[in-house]
Structures are given as structure tokens and as C-alpha cells.
């Protein structure tokens, strides 16, 4: 992992700029800096293919993180009835005006009402009912006086019957009575279509008595690794091979983005195998491939993808993750089969993850019906330099810490796009704009916060 020739010339290698200008095999597009798409242009082209998916109805708890596909109006009032906010006595406030410890008001207690019961009596002047928190307030009563403001404790201690009570405090009408409909009135619009279901929304929906809800379904993302060098995890590594990590980092990123991953395995670098593997993409909402999109070796992937759909191969003015394929596969032979968008990530593990972050995550959010906004970006200070050698936008893996009110960003070691542990150590991507030669220690930088989601406002 030390020498430059270990790294692909197209992606993350420090010799990149030289190799590009010297390379006689240039494909005539996408490889001079003029032909590179900006990240924004590439994202715009990708996003044009993604729209909110159709709704599904599911048990409430399974809807976490999904977007409501319907307005939720309340079939009931919440709370359904006037109820007590305290353990105490339900009474008429007019019976206790001027009450104090020195001037107690005595009432006769006509019954008890517990939470979950309906009161069996009406409170009239001179009477009260013992009442528990959450219990419906009996007709006639308009106020609840808590036990602490009565002789209840004293009576109990002295073994006196609870058929009388002395009230020690004057309380305004309505005190400690929680009115019916205080939270939600019957028929009210409680949650709007488009709301993301979080724990609080699950609680609110359950409080209305609903056990199922219509949400935008999650997209199924088919994941296909390509490469003769790839070995399946859990098997011994044989000579010249490496483990396929991209299928897993991509699948994990799909889950983190709200999609359902469908790992298709490894396609070998030949037409027959790639074609066979692509059959299993039927029914997916998005296909994400990795590798085989770099200059020199993408022709096979290019041919297959062009045969089966329409594919564009782009260079994006970013480091890592310059080479990117995007297009669609034609649906299965049946004429009604729908086209499936395909995003071809670069093979280098960091490039694959960063390209996923920039292009696949927004696509998945769009299909989920979520607002497509960038991850939160904070301004921080670099603790060591980032170099920009060839006029691309650099996304440097950094560990961000808040120190004395300032976000400090420390690059997580060598920035080669093959060094996946540097991604694991990072919680942010510090940006060096394409038109700067680099950023020095002490410079201010914009940092994409990878562990924060798009809903966080900064
Ligand atoms: P390629 O784009 O096929 O030239 O691959 C670029 C680099 O990424 C090579 O070093 C590959 O070995 C590596 N690579 C490709 N696919 C994977 C994968 N699924 N997991 C880990 N590394 C990969
Ligand atoms: Mg390859």
C-alpha cells in the first residue's frame, strides 16, 4: 500500500495527473479536465432518473424511517375525555373559594374513580370524588385538588373514614383537569403526508389507535461486484485474490440510506458471467455495480451495459471516485418490464463508498420520498494539510472533533482510494475545492458530516 503503482492511475493514485495527459489510450471523452463533469452536474444527471416510489401499508413499527404516503387524521379526540392530571379530589371550584389551612372547606366524598373507569356519580355542590391521575373527571366537577392540599394523609394516618375531606386550598376552575382534545381534536390533521416516521411519530400514530400505516416503500438495491480477483468472505484467500469488500460496504450503505440491499455476488471479468449475473437484477429499483469502469478495463462492462440498456461513462471532477458509470438496464425481455437505473461505482473501496455517498444515497432518499438535501456541512479547521494535485474536488477522510467550540479536522492517514481503514477512522469528508492547490494546517474547510443525516440542521 506504499507505492504508487499499486494504485489505479485513474483513481486515487498520486501519479494520476501525469498518467492522464500522457496516456495514448485516451477514449476521447471524459478524461481531459475539460470533459470532466462537476459533482453537481453528475448528481443532476443521476437524480433525473429517481422519483418517489409507490406506497405500501405495513404494521406501524415496521415503518420507522420511512415517509408517510398519506395524511393522518385523528379518528378520536386526545385525550378522549376530560381527565385528572393529579391524584386528588374532583369537585366544584365554587365550593372551595377562600379555602386555606386555617379556613378548610369540608366536603362529603361520594365515591372514587380510578384510571380506566367511568365515574358512576355526578359531583354536586358540597360533594367531591376521589380521583386518580388519568381518570375521567366526573360530571359536575370542574377542578381537581391534589391530596397534598387536603386532610387525606392525616385521615389515613389517624384511621378516619374517607367519606369526608377538608380542602386546604382555593384553586381556579379547571385546575388539574386535562380537557378532552387538548392534544388532538377529533378529525384533526395530525401528521402530513411526507413526514418521516421517527419514534415520536410512531408514538403519536399509536396514540390514535392506528396499527397500520401507508408509507413510501423502500427501494430494493441490487449489488453486483465485478472482478476476477475477488474472493468471497468466509473462504480462504488464494494467491492473487482479495476479498470482495465492496458488496458489503455498499450493502451496509444501502441499509444506512434506507434501502433494501440484494447482494448478487461477484461477476467475473467476462461477458458471459456479467450477462448471467445481470439477469438477477430484475425487480430491483436500482443496480449498483462496483469496479470495471476504469479506463483500460471498462470496455467489457461498457459493451454489456450498452447492449442491455443505455450507459454513460463519466469522469467526475472529484477525488476519490473519478470514474463513474450511470444509465439504465432495459427491463426483462417482457415488453412491460421497466428499465432499471444502474450506477457503476469505481472498484477501489474508498472510491466506491464516496461515490455511493455522493450519488447513490441521494437517489435512495429520492425514491424514499425524502427531501433531497446534502448531509450537514460544518466549517472546521484542518490540523494537517490536504493536497490537490490535479484540479479535482478533493474529499479527504477526516476525523472531526469539537474542541473549544471549533470543529478540528484531522486527516485519517494516507488518502489512497484503496485504504479502506482510513474511511473507518473518518466521521467526515473535508472538501478542498477544485480550484485550490490544497489546504494547509490551520485553514478553514467545509466538512461533510458522514454520521449526521440530512435531517440535522446546522
Ligand atoms: P477496477 O475498477 O476493476 O480496476 O478496480 C479497481 C481496484 O479496486 C482494484 O484494485 C480492485 O482489486 C479493487 N476492487 C474491485 N472490486 C472490489 C471489491 N468488490 N472489493 C474490494 N476491492 C475491489
Ligand atoms: Mg477490475
Q: Is residue 456 part of a domain?
A: no
Cβ contact 258:365 at 8 Å = yes
Beta bridge partners of 220: 260
Q: Is residue 387 part of a domain?
A: yes
Q: How far is the CA of 246 from the centre of ligand 1 (A)?
A: 8
pLDDT on residue 338 = 81
Q: Is residue 6 part of a domain?
A: no
Q: Is residue 2 part of a domain?
A: no
Same domain, 138 and 155: yes
Same domain, 229 and 321: yes
Q: Is residue 236 part of a domain?
A: yes
- Substitution candidate for ligand 1 out of 229, 300, 348 with most atoms within 8 A of CB: 348
Residue-wise DSSP of 177-240 = EE-TTSSB-TT-EEE-TT-B--HHHHHHHHHTT--EEEEEPPPEEEEEEE-TTEE-TTSPPPTT
Same domain, 35 and 101: no
Q: Does residue 447 have a pLDDT over 80?
A: yes
Residue 26's domain comprises: 15-53+217-367
pLDDT on residue 203 = 98
Q: What is the CATH number of the domain that holds 155?
A: 2.170.190.11
pLDDT on residue 5 = 39
Task: Compute the distance between CA of residue 365 and CA of residue 363 in angstroms, rounded to an integer.
Answer: 5
pLDDT on residue 297 = 62
Give the range among 27-31, 101-105, 207-211, 417-421 with minimum mean pLDDT.
27-31
pLDDT band at 25, cuts 50/70/90? very low
SS3 392: coil
Q: What is the CATH number of the domain that holds 200?
A: 3.90.105.10
Same domain, 63 and 94: no
Same domain, 355 and 415: no
Same domain, 103 and 36: no
**Tens digit of each residue's pLDDT (9 = 90 or more) over 232-280:** 999 999 999 999 999 999 999 999 999 999 999 999 999 899 999 999 9
Number of separate domains in the chain: 4
Is the CB of residue 258 below 6 angstroms from any atom belonging to ligand 1?
Answer: no
Is the CB of residue 227 below 6 angstroms from any atom belonging to ligand 1?
Answer: yes
Q: Which residues contact 122 (CB under 8 A, 6 or more apart)?
A: 138, 139, 140
Q: What is the CATH number of the domain that holds 343?
A: 3.40.980.10
Is the CB of residue 297 below 6 angstroms from any atom belonging to ligand 1?
Answer: yes
Is the CB of residue 290 below 6 angstroms from any atom belonging to ligand 1?
Answer: yes
Same domain, 332 and 278: yes
SS3 154: helix
Is the CB of residue 259 below 6 angstroms from any atom belonging to ligand 1?
Answer: no
Q: Which atom of ligand 1 is nearest to the CA of 244?
A: 20
Amino acid at each position: 500500500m506504499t507505492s504508487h503503482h499499486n494504485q489505479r492511475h485513474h483513481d486515487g493514485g498520486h501519479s494520476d495527473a501525469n498518467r492522464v495527459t500522457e496516456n495514448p489510450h485516451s477514449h476521447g471523452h471524459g478524461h481531459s479536465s475539460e470533459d470532466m463533469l462537476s459533482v453537481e452536474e453528475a448528481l443532476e444527471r443521476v437524480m433525473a432518473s429517481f422519483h418517489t416510489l409507490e406506497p405500501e401499508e405495513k404494521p406501524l413499527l415496521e415503518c420507522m424511517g420511512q415517509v408517510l404516503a398519506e395524511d393522518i387524521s385523528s379518528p378520536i379526540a386526545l385525550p378522549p375525555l376530560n381527565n385528572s392530571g393529579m391524584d386528588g379530589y374532583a369537585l366544584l371550584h365554587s365550593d372551595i373559594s377562600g379555602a386555606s389551612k386555617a379556613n378548610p372547606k369540608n366536603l362529603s366524598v361520594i365515591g372514587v374513580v380510578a384510571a380506566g373507569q367511568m365515574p358512576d356519580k355526578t359531583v354536586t355542590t358540597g360533594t367531591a370524588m376521589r380521583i386518580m391521575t388519568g381518570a375521567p373527571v366526573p360530571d359536575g366537577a370542574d377542578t381537581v385538588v391534589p391530596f397534598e392540599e387536603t386532610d387525606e394523609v392525616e385521615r389515613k394516618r389517624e384511621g378516619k373514614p374517607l367519606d369526608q375531606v377538608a380542602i386546604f386550598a382555593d384553586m381556579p376552575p379547571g385546575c388539574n383537569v386535562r380537557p378532552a382534545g387538548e392534544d388532538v381534536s377529533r378529525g384533526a390533521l395530525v401528521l402530513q403526508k411526507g413526514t418521516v416516521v421517527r419514534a415520536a411519530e410512531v408514538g403519536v400514530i399509536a396514540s390514535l389507535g392506528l396499527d397500520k400505516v401507508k408509507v413510501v416503500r423502500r427501494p430494493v438495491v441490487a449489488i453486483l461486484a465485478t472482478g476476477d480477483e475477488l474472493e468471497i468472505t468466509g473462504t480462504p484467500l488464494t494467491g492473487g485474490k482479495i476479498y470482495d469488500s465492496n458488496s458489503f460496504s455498499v450493502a451496509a450503505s444501502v441499509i444506512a440510506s434506507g434501502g433494501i440491499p440484494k447482494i448478487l455476488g461477484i461477476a467475473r471479468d467476462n461477458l458471459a458471467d456479467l450477462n448471467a449475473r445481470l439477469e438477477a437484477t430484475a425487480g430491483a429499483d436500482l443496480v449498483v455495480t462496483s469496479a470495471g469502469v476504469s479506463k483500460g478495463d471498462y470496455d467489457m462492462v461498457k459493451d454489456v451495459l450498452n447492449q442491455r440498456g443505455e450507459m454513460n461513462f463519466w469522469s467526475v471532477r472529484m477525488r476519490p471516485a473519478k470514474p463513474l458509470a450511470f444509465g439504465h438496464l432495459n427491463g426483462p425481455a417482457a415488453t412491460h418490464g421497466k428499465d432499471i437505473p444502474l450506477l457503476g461505482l469505481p472498484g477501489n473501496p474508498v472510491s466506491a463508498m464516496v461515490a455511493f455517498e455522493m450519488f447513490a444515497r441521494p437517489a435512495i432518499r429520492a425514491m424514499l420520498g425524502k427531501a433531497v438535501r446534502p448531509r450537514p456541512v460544518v466549517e472546521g479547521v484542518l490540523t494537517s494539510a490536504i493536497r490537490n494535485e490535479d484540479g479535482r474536488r478533493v474529499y479527504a477522510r477526516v476525523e472531526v472533533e469539537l474542541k473549544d467550540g471549533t470543529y478540528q479536522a484531522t486527516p485519517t492517514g494516507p488518502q489512497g482510494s484503496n485504504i479502506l481503514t482510513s474511511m473507518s477512522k473518518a466521521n467526515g469528508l473535508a472538501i478542498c475545492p477544485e480550484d485550490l492547490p490544497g489546504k494547509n494546517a490551520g485553514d478553514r474547510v467545509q466538512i461533510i458530516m458522514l454520521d449526521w443525516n440530512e435531517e440535522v440542521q446546522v
